[in-house]
Amino acid sequence: MDPKQQTAISDCVSKGQILFDEPLSRHTSYGIGGPAEAFFLPGDNKELARMLRIVSQEAIPVTVMGSGSNCLVSDTGVPGIVISLADCLNNFHIDGSSVTAGAGVTLGYLVNRCLQAGLVGVENLVGVPGTVGGALIMNARAFGGEISTHVDRVRTLTLDGKERIYRREDLQFGYRSSGFRPDEIILEAEFHLKAGPPETIADLQQRFLNERKARQPLKQRSAGSVFKNPASDLTAGMLIDKAGLKGTKRGDAEISVKHGNFFVNYGKATAEDIAFLIKLATRTVRQQFGTQLELEIRTLGFQPGYWEDEGLAG
């Protein structure tokens, strides 16, 4: 990014924050990732729209992130501008059984406020890190409940500045997938939930949290499950376990001993270390069981074709 472009994008920020050469390791749950040329936390929707106009005029590449809890960012970082909605656009409102949440609201906040209001539907997502925007893109799911089940409407902004409103039926939500276009940013979502007794919701939440602690390596940094499950009765974790790969290390990265589909960072792991283990697991599972794994995590900043040798989309 040249100095003229840097000035143009700095000049359009008044409420939010713009940082240059910002290490993305500070903004991912892995604690991994090289710098973003520019890292933008919008102060509000208007500032975001203004920024999109400038970056489009300047032909600067745009990448959107929530709280980076499902992303592996390359060690060389991400060119252009990374727009992060973590801690931004976090308006929140409950009106009866209708809940409106800005894309930057954390899932933890959404789950807690719904519990306080005695609303049932999103308690399964307790303990899932991330933002409402990221959860909708990924169609976050836990303990049989998916965020898409209760969504009514979603408001987005395209990179060329057009606002769109989707109803649930317009979006093809699937297993860890949604029908949003790659060129749009989720701004806000409205959920419709049902009333329920807070004690029951609290009990359920506690049960889910206990199960999470028992099954997942929550003491180390990770991005949750690396691969999608090939089928509902065949998990990627089971295949990786059967292939004898649990505990395999590369540098400070490890295929968790506790959960075969969690690849963890003990402190100084690089994206290359995690990528090495991802490719190893993909190859070994294919050779031993004939199953091609598919990535669940989103990869950012890798060279085109980086994942192709193992048949991964990246």
What three-state secondary structure class fits 311?
coil
Q: To the nearest 5 percent, what fractions of the chain are helix, strand and coil?
A: 30, 30, 40
**Is residue 178 within the footprint of ligand FAD (CB under 6 A)?**
no
Q: Please work out the total of residues on this chain that contact ligand FAD, with binding judged by CB under 6 A.
A: 31
Sort 38 into a burial class: Cβ within 10 Å, 0-12 / 13-18 / 19+: buried
The answer to whether 202 and 115 are in contact (CB under 8 A) is yes
Closest to ligand FAD by CB, 219 vs 244, is 219
- Residue of 176, 184, 190, 254 marked catalytic: 176
**Is residue 69 within the footprint of ligand FAD (CB under 6 A)?**
yes
Closest to ligand FAD by CB, 229 vs 287, is 229
**Is residue 128 within the footprint of ligand FAD (CB under 6 A)?**
yes
CA dihedral 39, 44, 49, 51 (to 10 degrees): -30
To ligand FAD, the closest distance from the beta carbon of 306 in angstroms equals 16
Q: Which residues pair with 22 in a beta bridge?
A: 36
State yes or no: is 296 an active-site residue: yes
**Is residue 137 within the footprint of ligand FAD (CB under 6 A)?**
yes
To ligand FAD, the closest distance from the beta carbon of 133 in angstroms equals 2
Residue 215's nearest CA partner among 205, 204, 225 is 225
The residue from 5, 25, 70, 178 that contacts ligand FAD (CB under 6 A) is: 70
**φ, ψ dihedrals at 11, nearest 5°:** -65, -20
**Is residue 224 within the footprint of ligand FAD (CB under 6 A)?**
yes
State yes or no: is 184 an active-site residue: no
**Is residue 138 within the footprint of ligand FAD (CB under 6 A)?**
yes
- Residue of 37, 47, 190, 296 marked catalytic: 296
Q: Which residues contact 214 (CB under 8 A, 6 or more apart)?
A: none
Cα separation, 230 vs 291, whole angstroms? 8
Contact segment (CB under 6 A) with ligand FAD among 17-25, 74-82, 135-143, 237-245 equals: 135-143
Closest to ligand FAD by CB, 182 vs 290, is 182
Residue 266's nearest CA partner among 245, 249, 241, 282 is 249
Angle made by CA atoms 277, 78, 10, in degrees to the nearest 5: 155
**Is residue 135 within the footprint of ligand FAD (CB under 6 A)?**
yes
Would you give the binding string for ligand FAD spanning residues 257-296, x where CB under 6 A is met? Answer: ----------------------------------------
- Residue of 225, 254, 256, 310 marked catalytic: 225
To ligand FAD, the closest distance from the beta carbon of 64 in angstroms equals 4
Radius of gyration of the chain measured on its C-alpha atoms:
20
Rounded alpha-carbon distances, angstroms, from residue 101 to 106, 148, 154, 237: 9, 14, 10, 33
Helices (H) and strands (E) in the chain, counts: 7, 18
Strands 119-120 and 145-146: unpaired
**Is residue 55 within the footprint of ligand FAD (CB under 6 A)?**
no
Would you give the binding string for ligand FAD spanning residues 77-96, x where CB under 6 A is met? Answer: --------x-----------
Closest to ligand FAD by CB, 161 vs 197, is 161
Contact set with ligand FAD (CB under 6 A): 29, 64-71, 85, 103, 128-131, 133-135, 137-138, 140-142, 185-186, 216, 218, 222-224, 298
Active centre residues (catalytic): 176, 225, 296
